[in-house]
Amino acid sequence: MRQQETRLALIGNGAIAGEIIRCVSGNDSVSILGALVLPEELDMLSDHPLVSSLKDMLAWKPDLVVECAGHSAVNDYAAPVLAAGIDLMIISIGALADKELYNQVKEAASGSSAQVILPAGALAGVDGLVAARRAGLTRVSLTSRKPPLAWAGAPGVEGVVLEEICEETVIFFGNAEQAALMFPKNANVAATTALAGIGFEKTQVRLIADPAVKRNTHVLEFEGKPGLYKIEMAGIPSADNPKTSMLTAYNILRMIEQRVSAIVI
């Protein structure tokens, strides 16, 4: 039976959480119960309750928990939330490049009635990629291009002076597993591509710092039995978090709304 309302709890209370809350504001089919945060963040200004223990969050009895706090939050909370029988939407999809963590999350979901939900985020064409995988794929690649400072803080750019980049520069070329772990706040799209397609090790990723671009651009290509597909995106960055695209929050909202919608597309 279809739910009439989704009781939603968040892990994290930062920029992405704020975007989710703004998106669901006024939506009578979704209620925000509150957010699980670090103890030092309990004094943050917030329009909803904040707790610092998983036990307290689970006491709200959410229908869905949305993780939006980074790789460490997936590591700490994903399996316990799923083991409690609560659906979990993971925004920091790059964390699943860790094979051990991926297996823990999968086992926790398989052993309960809960599902792991992975939104498309900033990536278009995920539906086609998943469909093509079922028919048979031979190649999947992703090229992501962002302004130099959008890559700041990633382990993959240690020693690179981003401020001095004056022309397009490839800062990473390798597979999706390496990209997701070396650029944890930037390369969730690489992890999404890998999980939707042919896996982390076989998915080719190129990351480019380009001072000429104003938008976060991604080119997704995949080839196999269904044909050759190339999808190019030029997303406007989030005003609060330039490392991610505005589309990310709306893709999250789409998946939340599908839980209660009479018609799903």
Ranges of each domain in the chain: 6-121+248-258, 126-241
Bridge partners (DSSP) of residue 175 are 204
Helical spans, DSSP H, in the chain: 15-24, 54-58, 71-83, 99-110, 126-135, 176-182, 188-196, 246-258
pTM of this prediction? 0.92
* CA neighbours closer than 13 Å in the CB half-sphere of residue 41: 15
**CATH of range 126-241; options 3.30.420.10, 3.30.565.10, 3.30.360.10, 3.40.50.720:** 3.30.360.10
Strands 169-175 and 6-11, by their bridges, are unpaired
Q: What is the pLDDT of residue 96?
A: 95
Residue pair 25/1 in contact (Cβ under 8 Å)? The answer is no
Q: What is the pLDDT of residue 261?
A: 85
For residue 172, what are the CA distances in angstroms to 205, 207, 217, 239? 8, 5, 15, 25
Q: What is the pLDDT of residue 253?
A: 87
Q: Which residues of the chain have pLDDT under 70?
A: 1-3, 242-243
Residue pair 60/9 in contact (Cβ under 8 Å)? The answer is yes
Q: What is the pLDDT of residue 206?
A: 97
The distance of Cα 223 from the centroid of its chain, to the nearest Å, equals 24
**CATH of range 6-121+248-258; options 3.50.50.60, 3.40.50.720, 3.30.70.100, 3.30.70.60:** 3.40.50.720
Catalytic residue set: 218
Q: What is the pLDDT of residue 2?
A: 62
Same fold, 6-121+248-258 and 126-241: no
Tokens read off for 146: 């962002």
Residues 6+ apart with CB under 8 A from 38: 52
d(CA 222, CA 125): 10
Q: What is the pLDDT of residue 92?
A: 93
* CA neighbours closer than 13 Å in the CB half-sphere of residue 131: 8
Give the CA angle between residues 246, 187, 80 to the nearest 5°: 90
Task: Report the chain's mean pLDDT, rounded to a whole number.
Answer: 92
d(CA 17, CA 6): 16
